[in-house]
Amino acid sequence: SSEDDGVDVFGRHVARAGVICSAHRPSVAQQTHVASATPGPVKSAMALKLGGTKAGGSKYFSTTKRGEIHELKQELHQIDATRKKEAVKKVIAAMTVGKDVSTLFPDVVSCMQTSNIELKKLVYLYVINYAKAQPEVAILAVNTFVKDASDPNPLIRALAVRTMGCIRLDEITEYLLERLRAACRDSDPYVRKTAGICIAKVYEINPELVEDQGFIDVLSRDLLGDGNPVVVANAVAALTEIQETSGRTLLDLDDRSGGVREKLFAALLESTEWGQVFILDALAKLDPRDEKDACDAIERIKPRLTHANPAVVLASIKVVLKLMDRVRNKEQLRAFCKKLNPPLITLLSCEKEIQYVALRNILLIVQKWPAILAADVKMFFCKYSDPIYVKMQKVDIMVHLASERNVDQVLKELKDYAMEVDVDFVRKAIRAIGRCAIKLERAAETCIEKLSELLENCQRHVIQTAVVVIKDIFRKYPTKFETVLRQVCEHIDELDEPEAKASMIWILGEYAERISNVEELLDSYLDGFHDEEQSVQLALLSATVKLFLKNPECQDMVARVLKQATEETTDPDIRDRGYIYWRMLSTNPELTKQVVLSDKPQIKDDGRPFDRTVLDKLLEDISLMSSVYHQLPSQFVTRMTQPARDDSDDEDAREKARAIKEELDRGTPDRERDGSRSPREDSPRGRHHDSDSDSDGQRRRDRDRDRDRERDRDRDRGDRGDRGRDRDRGGDEREGKAKAENSNGGGMMDLLGLDGDYDPFASPSPAAAPAAAPRTRVELTQVLGADKLGPTSQKGGLRILAAIERVNGETVMQLRFENQSSDRTMSGFAIQINKNPFGLAPKGALEVRPVAPGGASDATLGLVPGQLLSGQPLTNPLYLQVAIKHDVDVFYFTVQHHLESVLTEVSGVDREAFRAKWQEWQGERMAAFSGVAGRVWNTDALMEHLKTANIVFVAARQADGEEKSYFSSTLVNNLVVLVEVGVSGENVRVVVRAQVPVLLPHMQQSMARLLGLSQLRQ
């Protein structure tokens, strides 16, 4: 297939939030990887591949007899090519269904020497899957790869390069470089487009080598300007992948001098459908210069809206919506909205799975651009044949599109849904009626009428959901619709769900003066107080207090419930509320009446769960997984970003690259072809192993080892001002800058452990554009000394340095293991973390290379919150209790961390919500302190640099002679902290308000550390 390499990128795209379209059939390699997860469909697809037809290929999956591996081994050594091919097919089939056939690796590799393309593809597929498990044997296949890379057949050349790129072994990668360079200049476009994708694969293995060898320039200069649109599309896909991994801009769409934008638009017209998706994803990052530029770009993309592939349509819609943000002409916007309507409606006629993806994306679109589909609400009415997951999405969209012109139609449809059989769908429809009432005040009366009719339904789940919805309508319109109270109370005996009971009790307490038998109704619940759920008990407590304040004759009832809530319960929340009510009533009943019976804030429609910032980010990801999950990619995808390269290593890296190139140039292709030497001997890595006596190589290795030891000593000292990096660079300018920072009290570079010479806390120069702040690095500290003896073996020698930080949307633990023993290699490392307040737990297994005596090994462990919750309050300082096990013993230690390591990238608080929370969180949920910064902060500097710690800017104002900036942050457990920073010269005053008081001291410490404050005072 000419799209095999596009499929590979598509697979990675899905893994990180990729294009969704069930119309695409995965390649054989992808089907193999997902075999254990979806054996049924994979078996069918593989049967078609292996046997030509489903019936003919199914025979490869039917055998389960004993001794199968031995028989396959014999068949793989048959002379007959047909029988050998059948044996390889059986091996691939067994691998597909999850059987371990790695023991056959040498036997399958022996089948590579063949002119049969089908057999060669099958063998290459097997090698890709098991090369990591058998690296020593996989290297034996290098000669065949090298030979095939020069084959006259372009399919075989591309297959060889593609397979070598998929095998993640350094030995194979070293051989691939020259063949990959030749493939980029190949005369056949199929080979060139395969080479483009292969560059991205090699970058994942060894990014420094790809950059040093100039392959990035080959992609951006040669392949991106290729005359074949398929090659251009793959080059775009590879550059996008590398760009996201490295964090650098490689596709500069705003620079028209290089013509990158024009190349993409030209290739868009002739590319395959998946090539168009890659190009459109790249164009989504286009930043037009003005409104005319945006309109021109939209006109060039509009033809893609009528494409037959849903993925192309969704990707085009994404680009158009992004560009529409730059259009201010209302007539032009109206025309673009009209153009977007037909493709969105057309997606509803696709397969059910694609309908679901389209509906999830439409649900985001109508929140920002309701005018696109405002006149077509009928298109989202549910059909009898729709699956439940499609119906649920259509109901949400109907509510969003409901207006005063069409609400009657929508409510009539929703009432019909409320009479359906599916319980979940019925509840969804009834809640949608309530949302319409809250959203449209003029439709509230009609909604109450519909709900009243539903209350007469004999179905218990209908009645209970209707009671919950009516309670919400009462909260929105407290003085209206009281005529329905009697009808609601008639069904009190039919309520058995906690939410329905709590809603009914709230109604009884809120309207106690209008319900004649309210005491009797509440008393029926008090008899079983301790048998109810917590929500029901809390509702009973509040309702009874309200009843007493409205009717003091109910003193016995309130005394009874207060006793049950304080003396007889073990739930701390119920007990605390009971004591609060008791003390308020006994101290000042009139003041209590003003507090408890005060006007409640009106509720709003909860149909828009995202603030504007999050919604804009999700709209930028239309056609990706995040638009289906309605979550930002950082919340469910972990992307390993390559760290920024240290300039001090450039000379060393160039020297190593020159050595590798020289050794590659010394390779003799003739000897490789005739097989007179083993691949291990011919590989650059092998020559390193076999030339220990070589004086140049030995001196190079000694120099590398000395440099590593020097860096370790610098890290242990923890003095970033004296780091070996500055000594290696030796630049007078850098040294002077470091001295200036220290003399100015800059402790901030040392305090935060920032990596690099750029000080993100310095005020930006007015003549220069503000540079992006580097990622904050936390200094590794010793958590286990080498003198610590294991409890079982009484042996030591293991030194561990660790730190916890927030990297790429994930909390991670950075670890360094040093073996300071003299007689044994340490291996078999494993980790366990004790329960903790944030529930941080290892995301996966700890991967540490064996550590030889005198050696060291680094590891990064992702931490997932909410898994190992201790239920205990936060400690000060924050720390994790960790156990590390290796092949000798188990060691226990703690790793301290700052609050920044558990702050998420999304604040989740808009200005309106910030204002409400700021006014609400008073008293014990507020703390303030002040200090001297040693520099003058301004709003822009605060906004840019607190953002690196995931403290997000909300607003700013001038008040009381200070420039006040407001920020919010959200923890991994969804708790929110709000911050006010007031600046007057070098004096800084910080006010912190938190959802729970225990967070206050931690946020105070973080702000003092981030702002470099001294002379702190409360």
pLDDT, tens digit, 9 for 90 and up, residues 517-540 = 888 888 888 888 888 899 999 999
Tens digit of each residue's pLDDT (9 = 90 or more) over 639-657: 554 444 444 444 554 554 4
| Percentage of the chain lying above the pLDDT 70 cut | 78
In this prediction, residues 441-452 reach a mean pLDDT of 91
- Give residue-wise pLDDT tens across range 2-50: 334 433 333 333 333 333 433 333 332 333 233 333 334 444 444 444 5
Identify which of 177, 102, 100, 173 has the alpha carbon closest to the alpha carbon of residue 139: 173
Contacts of residue 528, defined as CB under 8 A and 6 or more positions apart, other chains included, come to none
What pLDDT shows up at residue 985?
84
The residues near 891 (Cβ < 8 Å, ≥ 6 apart) are: 784, 788, 790, 798, 800, 883, 884, 885
pTM over 0.75: no
Give the neighbor-by-neighbor strand order of the sheet with 976-984: 952-959, 962-970, 976-984, 987-994, 926-932, 1014-1017
855 close to 824: Cβ distance less than 8 angstroms: no
As a whole number, the mean pLDDT across the chain is 78
Find out whether 206 and 176 touch, Cβ atoms under 8 Å. no
Task: For the chain, give the percent of residues with pLDDT over 90.
Answer: 27
Among 372, 382, 283, 286, smallest CA distance to 326 is for 286
The predicted pLDDT at position 716 comes to 44
Helices (H) and strands (E) in the chain, counts: 47, 14
Q: Which two tokens stand for residue 656?
A: 């190593």
Round to whole Å and give the CA distance between 92 and 168.
20
Instruction: Check pLDDT > 70 for residue 335.
Output: yes
- Can you read off the two tokens belonging to residue 871? 């239920």
Three-state secondary structure call for residue 822:
coil
Q: Is the pLDDT of residue 744 over 70?
A: no
Report the run of H or E that residue 547 belongs to, with start and end.
Answer: helix 534-550
Cis before 865? omega within 30: no
On the question of a cis peptide bond just before residue 387, with omega within 30 degrees of 0, the verdict is no
Q: Would you state the pLDDT for residue 695?
A: 42
- pLDDT grade, residue 427 (50/70/90)? very high
Phi, psi of 413 (to 5 degrees): -70, -40
Q: How confident is the model at residue 638 (pLDDT cuts 50, 70, 90)?
A: low
**pLDDT tens across 281-331, in order?**
988 888 888 889 889 999 999 999 999 999 999 999 999 999 998 898 889
* Residues 712-735 pLDDT 10s: 444 444 443 343 334 333 444 434
CA distances from 636 to 162, 358, 625, 633, 843 (A): 29, 20, 10, 6, 12
**Residue 651 has what pLDDT?**
55
Q: At what angle do helices 154-166 and 170-184 cross, to 10 degrees?
A: 140
Partners of 746 in the beta sheet? Answer: none
Q: How confident is the model at residue 659 (pLDDT cuts 50, 70, 90)?
A: low
Q: Tell which wins on pLDDT, 944 or 771.
A: 944
Q: Rounded distance, CA 440 to CA 455, Å?
A: 22
Predicted pLDDT of residue 504:
93
Task: Give the mean model confidence (pLDDT) for residues 259-273.
Answer: 87
* Residue-wise pLDDT tens digits, 206-237: 888 888 888 888 988 889 888 899 999 999 99
Q: From CA 841, how far away is CA 868, in angstroms rounded?
A: 6
Give the SS3 label for residue 448: helix
pLDDT average, residue stretch 182-192: 91
pLDDT exceeds cutoff 60 at 591: yes
pLDDT digits (tens, 9 = 90+) for 555-567: 889 999 999 999 8
Q: Residue range 825-842: average pLDDT?
A: 90
Residue-wise pLDDT for 11-20, tens only, equals 333 333 333 4
- pLDDT tens digits along 353-406: 999 999 999 999 999 898 999 889 999 999 989 999 999 999 999 999 999 899
Read off the pLDDT band of 924 (50, 70, 90): confident
pLDDT tens across 274-291, in order?
899 999 998 888 888 888
The pLDDT of residue 655: 58
Would you state the structure tokens that stand for residue 187, as one six-digit string? 């005369």
Strand duo 987-994 + 926-932: pairing: antiparallel
pLDDT of residue 986: 85
- Name the range with the highest mean pLDDT among 138-147, 474-483, 999-1008: 999-1008
Quickly list DSSP for 357-421. HHHHHHHHHHHH-GGGTTT-GGGGSPPTTS-HHHHHHHHHHHHHH--TTTHHHHHHHHHHHTTSS
Higher pLDDT, 91 or 648: 91
Question: How far apart, in Å, do the first and last CA atoms of the chain sit?
Answer: 70
Confidence at 462, pLDDT banded by 50, 70, 90: very high
Structure confidence at residue 249 (pLDDT): 82
Q: How many residues does the chain have?
A: 1018
Strand-pair partners of 980: 966, 991
**pLDDT of amino acid 119:** 85
> What are the two backbone dihedrals, phi and then psi, of residue 947, each rounded to the nearest 5 degrees?
-65, -30
Give me the pLDDT at residue 685, please: 39
* pLDDT at site 1017: 82
Q: Return d(Cα 56, Cα 261) in angstroms, integer.
A: 48
| Res. 703: pLDDT tops 70 | no
Query: Which of 143-147, 483-487, 868-872 has the highest mean predicted lDDT (pLDDT)?
Result: 483-487
Residues near 197 by Cβ (< 8 Å), separated by ≥ 6? 5, 6, 8, 9, 162, 165, 234, 237, 238
pLDDT at 605 over 60: yes
Q: Please check whether residue 991 is in contact with residue 980, taking contact to mean a CB–CB distance below 8 angstroms.
A: yes
Contacts of 72 (CB under 8 A, 6+ apart): 87, 90, 91, 94, 101, 104, 107
The tokens describing 686, both together, are 């092998």
β-partners of residue 882 are 833, 893
